[in-house]
Amino acid sequence: MSVVAHYVKWRLGLAAAEGATTAAEADCLVRHACGKKRLAEIGVWQGGTTARLRAAMAPGATLFAVDPFPKGRLGFSTQRAIATREVAKIANGQVVWIRQTAADASRDPIVRSGGFEFVFLDALHTYDGLREDWEAWSPLVANGGVIAIHDSRASPGGHSEDVGGVRFTNDVIVKDDRFEMIETIDSLTVLRRRTVA
């Protein structure tokens, strides 16, 4: 279905917001987001995961939702329209929307004002794109915090080992001494930042 056709159906209540994760990946993300107080999702799309993270996070927590939401054929971002409406249905804490790329958002003083207990990277999946997002956001993860990267592993029906984001994960992310890998599921890699004295 085209983006415009899906948007019209969603407006009419005939289609749900689209998600980009498998059920197992979504459950894993929710488990790691549960009770966290400062979270970020990089790459929001239609907000299906954002809404689940908002529901799982601690009462009074803040979730940063980062996406440039480029304008589409209708002259506005249908993804943004859907995401903001879907995420507003969940009453928990606050969501800070940042309509920028991951790299630009990482330089925002509000973003840099504290460490993150949970970051979900799901924006750029090329080798250089994931490098840009990893270099921008991995330093913002607090000691003991979790960072999960989508489409970072080859999986049945998903990406192959040749895809840039999978190669960058194998070449760089899993070898990064600042983090330990704690879980993988489908195309998702979950790491925890080691605590340094």
How far apart CA 137 and CA 143 sit, in angstroms, is 13
| Residue among 42 and 111 whose Cβ is closer to ligand SAM | 42
| Residue among 20 and 142 whose Cβ is closer to ligand SAM | 20
| Residue among 76 and 197 whose Cβ is closer to ligand SAM | 76
CB count within 10 Å of CB 71 equals 11
Do residues 136 and 175 make contact, with C-beta atoms less than 8 angstroms apart? Answer: no
* Residue written as token pair 């330089």: 107
CA angle 21, 25, 26 (to 5 degrees): 75
CB of residue 197 to ligand SAM, shortest distance in Å? 33
| Residue among 59 and 70 whose Cβ is closer to ligand SAM | 70
Interface contacts to ligand SAM, rule CB under 6 A: 19-21, 41-45, 48-49, 66-68, 79, 101-102, 122-124
CB of residue 12 to ligand SAM, shortest distance in Å? 21
CB of residue 194 to ligand SAM, shortest distance in Å? 26
Query: In this chain, which residue has its C-beta nearest to ligand SAM?
Result: 43
Retrieve residue 46's tokens. 């239609």
Distance between first and last Cα of the chain: 52
